[in-house]
A and B are shown apart, each in its own frame.
Chain A
Amino acid sequence: DVKVTQSSRYLVKRTGEKVFLECVQDMDHENMFWYRQDPGLGLRLIYFSYDVKMKEKGDIPEGYSVSREKKERFSLILESASTNQTSMYLCASRKLGSYNEQFFGPGTRLTVL
């Protein structure tokens, strides 16, 4: 059974803190994604990685960075958290190929106070 896991289901941080969100997949997928989900805005792509140490900016990369040191792990970093980064963060992975299914993790609900 395919699996994408995220390190936390709920996270509360203070403004200015550095925040790490971790994502691990066990399917040996090449591609990994970070999205944020907000009501009325759908899923917006933050960053995409097509291989180890490779990354591309998505639609809303400002205020975020990512790290992919190992194929199975993709981290999202908020260098200095702000209240407008309060959101649901979803990680996904996909086998190489545009039409292949994206498998999502359960999400991390981040609240920045």
Chain B
Amino acid sequence: QQQVKQSPQSLIVQKGGIPIINCAYENTAFDYFPWYQQFPGKGPALLIAIRPDVSEKKEGRFTISFNKSAKQFSLHIMDSQPGDSATYFCAATLTGANNLFFGTGTRLTVIP
């Protein structure tokens, strides 16, 4: 059973567009929601993370929006660039958990 559901599976946008990747979860005990970015041939790396006590977090061109009541969170990439082309994974965890529960990933392609 997938603890975190992610969509879309793939996404193609023009340079300068704002791709949006969505994730949903069921376990209301989750209290930490990171996003990982993976370039081809590399392992995933932490991009940005949010706690449920805030509705939005920005780091540079990357923004997480969090809706606690809907149990959903999303990643927005402002002014997307070809260098943002990668696979993005959302994840969730809770206090005392050993591991992260990952979404299935979104392959983003930004066309110049």
Contact = CB atoms under 8 A, between A and B. Distances in A.
Interface in B23-53: 32, 34, 41-46, 49
B104 interface: yes
Contact of A104 (B2, B43, B99, B105): B43
B46 A101 contact: yes
Interface residues on A, range: 20 to 34
Contact of B104 (A40, A50, A103): A40
A103 B34 CA distance: 13
B104 A90 contact: no
A41 B3 CA distance: 12
Interface residues on B, range: 20 to 34
A9 to B, nearest CB: 8
Interface stretch (B11-19, B60-68, B88-96): B88-96
Contacts of B34: 101
Interface centre among A42, A44, A99, A104 (most CB of B within 10 A): A42
Given A92-B43, A106-B42, A45 B99 contact: yes
Contacts of B94: 98
A102 B46 contact: yes
A75 interface: no
Interface in A73-111: 90, 92, 98-99, 101-107
A40 B49 CA distance: 23
A42 B9 contact: no
B65 to A, nearest CB: 20
B93 A43 contact: no
Given A40-B9, A43-B44, A104-B43, 4 more contacts: A43-B102, A43-B105, A58-B99, A98-B97
Interface of B: 2, 6, 9, 32, 34, 41-46, 49, 89, 93-100, 102-105
22 contacts: A4-B43, A31-B98, A33-B99, A40-B104, A41-B104, A42-B6, A42-B103, A42-B104, A43-B89, A43-B105, A48-B99, A90-B44, A92-B43, A98-B93, A98-B94, A98-B97, A98-B98, A99-B32, A102-B46, A105-B43, A106-B43, A107-B42
